[in-house]
Amino acid sequence: MMGGTATDGIQLQWRLVDMHCHPDQLANGSEVASDAEQLGLALFCVTVSPADALAALERFDANSNVFVGAGLHPWWLADGRCSESDIEAAARLVATSRLIGEIGLDFNGPRAETAALQERGLSAILQSCARHPMSGRVLSLHAGKAAGRMLDLLEEFGIPEHASCVFHWFSGTSEELTRARSAGCIFSVNERMLASKRGREYARQIPLERLLIETDAPRTFGQRSSARALGNSLERTLDTLASIRPESRSRIADQAVALGMELLSA
Ligand SMILES: [Zn+2]
């Protein structure tokens, strides 16, 4: 068994761990969170702004299966929904946060025009992490055409040495994947990543002990969903992983649950 005795109880408690999702952006997020608990589904609720993070912390306070990250999504900076004051608020919030995300850089299409603002935002957050180190810190990272730049900044602030850096839905180049692996990064994969040939090839190459699963649900913010739908998405991700990797499905699932809970409940 993976993980030793410390994770045995956790493995019994949680059947699946969704390592990157947005239940606070569901029309019926509170219902989904409670139903997920009944199904043995733990959720890493990443947020898109510091205000949303504070709201989610309060909203899911009673849900022992929901773990909220302090985030500032690069899309929110790129399209002006978040601004300099949110960067300052995010930098303050992460100083006292163990779980951080969703943060990152996205240089796809017109969002590249705001690269400097995005880099300023990410740098402020990483600098705050570096100045306020905390044991067991976890970052859920979004990189669109920017994995190399993301790794530059993570290394500039010495983050990989004292935090778990989780690339969500890795879509960089093969060289960037190699570099992220060398830096000790972890990877959470979802069914949409596995829909592409390149995504499947990356998911095949990631070492089992660095592999997590996620839904990144909902696809459209404000939608309704169900805990069962999240669970089914994770099950399909495990099906695909088992079809492309040498390990058995149950071994992949056990490992992903053990690693996920080790990170979330440290
Ligand atoms: Zn996301």
How far does the centroid of ligand 1 lie from the alpha carbon of residue 22, in Å? 7
Does 119 carry a binding-site annotation? no
How far does the centroid of ligand 1 lie from the alpha carbon of residue 214, in Å? 9
How far does the centroid of ligand 1 lie from the alpha carbon of residue 218, in Å? 9
How far does the centroid of ligand 1 lie from the alpha carbon of residue 69, in Å? 11
pLDDT in tens, 189-205: 999 999 999 999 999 99
Helix segments in the chain, DSSP class H: 5-13, 29-39, 50-59, 74-78, 84-95, 115-131, 147-156, 159-162, 174-182, 197-205, 227-244, 249-264
How far does the centroid of ligand 1 lie from the alpha carbon of residue 219, in Å? 9
C-alpha to C-alpha distance for 69 and 115, rounded to whole angstroms = 23
How far does the centroid of ligand 1 lie from the alpha carbon of residue 102, in Å? 6
Give the closest residue to 143 by CA, choosing from 185, 205, 182, 184.
Answer: 185
Checking if the pLDDT of 31 tops 60, the result is yes
C-alpha to C-alpha distance for 68 and 211, rounded to whole angstroms = 20
Does 20 carry a binding-site annotation? yes
Checking if the pLDDT of 4 tops 90, the result is no
Indicate the helix (H) or strand (E) that contains 144.
strand 138-144
pLDDT of residue 181: 98
How far does the centroid of ligand 1 lie from the alpha carbon of residue 36, in Å? 18
Domains of the chain: 19-264 (3.20.20.140)
Q: Do 244 and 195 form a contact (C-beta atoms < 8 A)?
A: no
pLDDT of residue 12: 52
pLDDT of residue 164: 98
C-alpha to C-alpha distance for 34 and 63, rounded to whole angstroms = 7
Residues flanking ion ligand 1, Cβ below 5 Å:
102, 216
Does 52 carry a binding-site annotation? no
Strand-pair partners of 66: 43
Does 216 carry a binding-site annotation? yes
How far does the centroid of ligand 1 lie from the alpha carbon of residue 5, in Å? 32
Checking if the pLDDT of 29 tops 90, the result is yes
- Widest CA span in the chain: 49
The number of angstroms, rounded, from the C-alpha of 112 to the middle of its chain's C-alpha atoms is 22
pLDDT in tens, 195-250: 999 999 999 999 999 999 999 999 999 999 999 999 999 999 999 999 999 999 99
The whole-chain average pLDDT of the chain stands at 95
pLDDT in tens, 53-91: 999 999 999 999 999 999 999 999 999 999 999 999 999
Calculate the alpha carbon distances from 26 to 21, 64, 72, 96, 217 in Å: 10, 18, 18, 26, 9
